[in-house]
Amino acid sequence: MPDPNGFLRYDRRLPARRPVPVRISDWREVYPPAGEELIREQATRCMDCGIPFCHDGCPLGNRIPDWNDLVRTGNWDAAVDSLHATNNFPEFTGRLCPAPCEAACVLGLGGQQPVTIKQVEVEIADAAVARDGLRPRPASVSTGRSVAVVGSGPAGLAAAQQLARAGHTVTVYERDDAIGGLLRYGIPDFKLEKQHIDKRLAQLTAEGVRFRTGVDVGVDVTAEQLRAEHDAVLLACGALQGRDTPETPGRALRGVHQAMAHLVAANRVVAAAGDGKPAPATLPDGTPIDAAGKHVVIIGGGDTAADCLGVAHRQGAAGVHQLDLYPEPPTERDAARDPWPTWPWVLRNYPAHEEGGERVFAVAVQEFVDDGTGQVRAVRIAEVTVEKVDGRRIVTALPGSEREIPADLVLLAIGFEGTEEQPLLAQFGVTRNGRGAIDSRPDWQATDGVFVAGDMHRGASLIVWAIAEGRAAAAAIHTYLGGVGDLPAPVDPARQPLAAR
Ligand SMILES: Cc1cc2nc3c(=O)[nH]c(=O)nc-3n(C[C@H](O)[C@H](O)[C@H](O)COP(=O)(O)OP(=O)(O)OC[C@H]3O[C@@H](n4cnc5c(N)ncnc54)[C@H](O)[C@@H]3O)c2cc1C
Ligand code: SF4
């Protein structure tokens, strides 16, 4: 029986982050382990409210009150099993998820701070590794059926693990030189050290999943070949088409780049350096894209922008500005606009924001300014208002509000426009919809025998959604292949986050 008064006895507390001067001198994760005492105390704040809205907040349907109580009572093995029953990779979500479950925690109804669900999750996940090193659970019987998974991000990996455990032969094709999708070269080590991916991959390999890196499906191997070799195909190629701003004067100047180019270059040199000091980051053609000594301007306000900020400080930037088109959000939930338990529009301070830099809200870039040699030297910005008219965004600059911000390196982190246009799409006979995503039928098939999941289906989203869609698509593939019994399907293709409107 959970402690009904735990939240009255204990305030919400998170482990202290590593001090800023220490953490920006390396690439290690920002949070040290929390310690058992703190986590058991925080799990005690969950009162097992009876109608746990956190279940609806989490697309995976994680059994949050169950494992909170198991942690509270020190029953770690059972907590590990309970968490893994719904989530293949809690070490990823526990570190990276923005935790919509916490926004839906019933404590929020009474003006209390929510339970630290995500922190409890990561501690359970790490306990699993410490206890048995992620024991493989290979299938006892093979079905003799074979599935190709294209793309090795969290959607593809979750599907691969579910299908392999159900007895199917699974091959994951990845065009990059390493497995992990955005977790590998998109998200920096200070948010997710890559050892966590490698440990999971060892488990998947031991469970029979085969990995083929450096294979660009549609180029190195055709859709026809894949369909001939496998009984079903899952497309999980992500939504990696970065939004650009070609109409802004000066966009072609040297020093103006897509944010992903910067992040991938930085993550690659960190990966290559091991425990040593990373070399300055460059693009594949040798163009420097390192922030050391530079005035950096990051355009955009989301995860990608915050990751660029953290990378720029670790590379030794002279100064960083982060520009946002929208006004500064409130610090507390506006209940009229975003009532509990929906995901509120509030100011989100990532650990990277503690590390320096200046955030500038309600501004838009009017021009990237040339230094006379074709290299950017500044961005000219104007203060703006943003309105939605008939669903369209209207941005209006305030006359006389223009000014320049010095910039040697400009990073565009203004979102993604869906999955990339690439030969694979036509070969499989699928087309991008108006949002750049690939539609599916209710059974996750984009076309006969070809399934789709994750960002490629949903548009740029979150890891928790990618895992949930990967699990659900795996369940549909299992049924399609005539597998015995049902696999868990936490979401259907039409499922949307909790919303008031
Ligand atoms: C910088 C950044 C930071 C983020 N931070 C967070 C965060 O903190 N928390 C969070 O929840 N979410 C975050 N996200 C979002 C999250 O990473 C994605 O929602 C998630 O990775 C999507 O998973 P996926 O498996 O659908 O696709 P992806 O992870 O994008 O993986 C798709 C894979 O498919 C491969 N591929 C594509 N085409 C082919 C082909 N033809 N042949 C073979 N392989 C192919 C790609 O190389 C890639 O490896 C972040 C995103 C970015 C860009
Ligand atoms: S995966 Fe995300 S939403 Fe689900 S319980 Fe964990 S932190 Fe919450």
Q: What is the pLDDT of residues 5-28, one digit of tens each?
A: 899 999 999 999 999 999 999 999
For every residue of 439-496, DSSP letters joined together read: ---TTSEEETTEEE-THHHH-S--HHHHHHHHHHHHHHHHHHTT-SS-------TT--
Ligand 2 binding pocket includes 83 (Cβ within 6 Å)? no
Query: From the CA of 106, how far away is ligand 1's center (Å)?
Result: 31
Specify the residue for token string 């910005």. Answer: 381
What are the angstrom distances between the C-alpha of 201 and each of 97, 99, 192, 479? 20, 24, 15, 25
pLDDT tens, position by position, 154-208 = 999 999 999 999 999 999 999 999 999 999 999 999 999 999 999 999 999 999 9
pTM above 0.95, yes or no: yes
Spatial CA neighbour of 71 closest among 128, 19, 8: 128
Partners of residue 297 on adjacent β-strands: 321, 410
For every residue of 92-130, DSSP letters joined together read: HHHHH---HHHHT-GGGGGTPPPP-HHHHHHHHHHHHHH
Spatial CA neighbour of 449 closest among 479, 424, 419: 479
* pLDDT above 80 for 57: yes
Per-residue confidence at 68, pLDDT binned at 50, 70, 90? very high
Summary mean pLDDT of the chain = 96
Ligand 1 binding pocket includes 179 (Cβ within 6 Å)? no
Per-residue confidence at 36, pLDDT binned at 50, 70, 90? very high
Query: From the CA of 310, how far away is ligand 2's center (Å)?
Result: 23
Ligand 1 binding pocket includes 462 (Cβ within 6 Å)? yes
Upper half-sphere CA count for residue 235 (Cβ side, 13 Å): 37
Q: Is the peptide bond before 341 cis (omega within 30 degrees of 0)?
A: yes
How far apart are the C-alpha atoms of 190 and 193, rounded to whole Å? Answer: 7
- Which sign, positive or negative, has the C-alpha torsion 416, 418, 419, 423? negative
pLDDT tens, position by position, 367-395 = 999 999 999 999 999 999 999 998 899 99
Which regions of 334-449 does DSSP assign to beta strands (E)?
A: 358-360, 363-370, 376-389, 392-397, 403-406, 409-412, 445-447
Look at residue 4 in the predicted model and tell me its pLDDT: 87
Query: From the CA of 43, how far away is ligand 2's center (Å)?
Result: 14
* pLDDT above 70 for 432: yes
Dihedral Cα 214, 220, 222, 227, nearest 10 deg: -40
Per-residue confidence at 332, pLDDT binned at 50, 70, 90? very high
Tell me the best of 54, 58, 87 to mutate to test the pocket of ligand 2, counting ligand atoms within 8 Å of each CB and taking the most.
Answer: 58
Query: From the CA of 19, how far away is ligand 2's center (Å)?
Result: 26
Query: From the CA of 118, how far away is ligand 2's center (Å)?
Result: 6
Mean of pLDDT values over 449-478: 98
Tell me the best of 64, 91, 97 to mutate to test the pocket of ligand 2, counting ligand atoms within 8 Å of each CB and taking the most.
Answer: 97
